[in-house]
Amino acid sequence: MSPLVSPAPGEAEFAHWTDDRQDAFVLGMLLECDDDFVSGSVLCDKLDVPRAELLKRLDSLRARGYVIQASGGRGYRLAGMPAGLSEREIAPLLGTAEIGRVIHHYAELPSTNDEAHRLAELGARHGEVVIAELQTQGRGRRGRPWLAPPGKSIALSVVLRPSISAARAPEVALAAAVAVCEAARELGAGTARIKWPNDVECQGRKLAGLLTELRADAERVRHVVLGVGVNCGLIPEDFPDELVDQATSLRIEKGEEVPRALACARLLEALDEWLALHEVEGFAPVRDRWRQLSSTLGRRVRVEMEPGVLEGDAVDLAEDGALIVRTKDEALTRVMAGDVSHCRVL
């Protein structure tokens, strides 16, 4: 989704927009030019505003960290994105209805999920986001540590208040996995697929991980915190030796730098779209797309569970999000939790 979400406004309408929306409109026009210069007169005509107002908006974008070059006779060109991930930098790129409209940005946190839970208990609304440049105690599934070098990764958590029963909470994680996978593909990781239940990988190398944590009373969900970690600007040398062959990043997959602010905005937009679709239409469309994006279905798998190990063929995703595994005796087993290893394609 682009920041351009409406036709060019008239001067009176534009004047009543918020600074974020005005900046988003101008930024969207610059983004559409694909790094080419666009003349000031063209921008003013499309905006239907005087040159002074255009210059004001360009200065505002520069103050947010956007690098905008000016060339006499050629106009203006977007030459760089901000390095930070605060609301001020992301807002002009963001076209969401709910997710990310409020962003809590921190230089350092033990855990974005823990902070999101704290804010949720204090009344944070659906869609509020916690972002940290550095997590000192970031965790993945089953409490494993999550590597997130500052300036090269995205570590965020989203407060969600879905209108579903606690039994349906796994659906949220699967919808989020679809969203992250779709965003990764849009950002240049064209081979991104989902490894059950909610890792995003490219040809067997992990690109992103998701962790959902539920707070509920009996059958009522108070809130869900969705944690997302994305390897954005890492290069092979940034990974520990034991992870070089097991992890990847947007930069590696695309072959060039992907601005973190842009990646974060596209990620939040995809979450906004898929979580809203799940809220309105239920799990069916999420399940269909998850199947299409899955790297697990159609594979021989080994699942480490509590207790024991299950081996068999991953044949389907159940209506409640369970992985259906056919064992060697042709029995179908439902797996709701466990660590999956891919063995071979069937």
pLDDT band for position 10 (50/70/90)?
Answer: low
Q: How far is CA 193 from CA 142, 203, 275, in A?
A: 21, 8, 18
CATH class of 11-80: mainly alpha
Q: Where are the beta strands (DSSP E) in 94-204?
A: 103-109, 129-135, 153-160, 192-195, 199-202
Query: Residue 83 and residue 35: Cα distance in Å, rounded?
Result: 18
Q: What is the pLDDT, as a whole number, of residue 220?
A: 82
Residue 36: is its pLDDT beyond 60?
A: yes
Cβ atoms of 29 and 7 within 8 Å: the answer is: no
Where is mean pLDDT largest: 41-50, 238-247, 269-278? 269-278
Query: Residue 270 and residue 290: Cα distance in Å, rounded?
Result: 14
Residue 150 CB coordination number (10 Å): 12
Q: Which pair of structure tokens corresponds to residue 231?
A: 């390897």
pLDDT band for position 240 (50/70/90)?
Answer: confident
Looking at 3.30.930.10, 3.40.960.10, 3.60.70.12, 3.30.420.40, the CATH number of the domain 87-293 comes to 3.30.930.10
What's the rounded mean pLDDT across residues 289-314?
93
Q: What is the pLDDT, as a whole number, of residue 254?
A: 97
Cis peptide before 92 (omega within 30 of 0): no
Cβ atoms of 32 and 98 within 8 Å: the answer is: no
Q: Which pair of structure tokens corresponds to residue 29?
A: 């026009």
What's the rounded mean pLDDT across residues 225-234?
96
pLDDT band for position 11 (50/70/90)?
Answer: low
| Lowest model confidence (mean pLDDT) among 13-27, 87-101, 138-152, 254-268 | 138-152
Query: Residue 227 and residue 203: Cα distance in Å, rounded?
Result: 23
Could you tell me which residues are beta bridge partners of residue 344? Answer: 300
Closest CA to 247 of 278, 276, 205: 205
Residue 7: is its pLDDT beyond 60?
A: no
Q: What is the pLDDT, as a whole number, of residue 1?
A: 41
pLDDT band for position 4 (50/70/90)?
Answer: very low
Q: Which pair of structure tokens corresponds to residue 308?
A: 């024991």
**CATH 2.30.30.100 holds for 299-345:** yes
Residue 253: is its pLDDT beyond 70?
A: yes
Domain ranges, ordered by start, for the chain: 11-80, 87-293, 299-345
Residue 2: is its pLDDT beyond 50?
A: no
Cβ atoms of 167 and 321 within 8 Å: the answer is: no
3-state secondary structure of 116: helix
Question: Buried b vs exposed e over 234-259: b needs ≥16 C-beta within 10 Å?
Answer: beeebbeeeeeeebbbbbbbeeeebb
Query: Residue 134 and residue 122: Cα distance in Å, rounded?
Result: 23
List, as own/partner pairs, every contact residues 133-137 make where C-beta atoms lie below 8 angstroms and the sequence separation is at least 24, other chains included: 133/84, 133/85, 133/106, 133/107, 133/108, 134/107, 134/108, 134/109, 135/108, 135/109, 135/110, 135/111, 136/108, 136/109, 136/110, 137/110, 137/111
Closest CA to 325 of 346, 304, 345, 297: 297
What's the rounded mean pLDDT across residues 85-99?
93
